[in-house]
Amino acid sequence: MRISELEEQIANAGKLAELKHFSKAAEACFVSQPTLSGQIKKLEKELEQLKAKLASAAGSDLASQARDVNGTQVLAANLEGADLSGADLRYANLRRANLSGANLQNARLDHANLPGADLTNADLRGADLSGANLLLANLTDADVSGATFTNANLEKTIGLETTP
């Protein structure tokens, strides 16, 4: 699926969520109601495939399959307690992801997009977060010893200042 097609589907789904009415949303998006229904169906299928991919990759097996996640969007994913040690998550979009208690030891998160992510009690020892966007991320009680934050956006990051 092309990015522009996916962006249009997401925008139209947002309009549907806002208006809570297929006909009104279709009209506001300048598409027919059957077209909007088809877009929503395609978007649901894409999200289910991504969800299945993440679910099958969760836990101890995720580190070996993490290359498939590299650079993709994983918005608001629940990866609480997942073992992502050594995972290659460069350029991944993990906006608002729940990574609390996750093992990210020696993970490659350079240039990852993690705004609003919950990294409470996460193990980030030796992780590379160079150039990562951690705007409003919660790092309360996260172990960041040996982690690299070169050129990372740490603006309004929660809990980092209290971590040794």
> What's the rounded mean pLDDT across residues 123-147?
93
Give Rg (Cα) of the chain. Answer: 18
Q: What's the pLDDT score for residue 62?
A: 45
Token look-up 């580190």 returns 63
3-state helix, strand, coil in the chain (%, to 5): 40, 10, 50
> What's the rounded mean pLDDT across residues 25-38?
92
Instruction: Return the DSSP state at 31.
Output: S
Average pLDDT of the chain, as a whole number: 81
What are 14's two structure tokens?
A: 């947002």
Q: What separation in angstroms does the CA of 28 have from each of 18, 20, 36, 40, 74? A: 11, 12, 11, 15, 28
pLDDT in tens, 45-76: 887 777 666 655 554 444 444 444 544 555 55
Q: What's the pLDDT score for residue 162?
A: 40
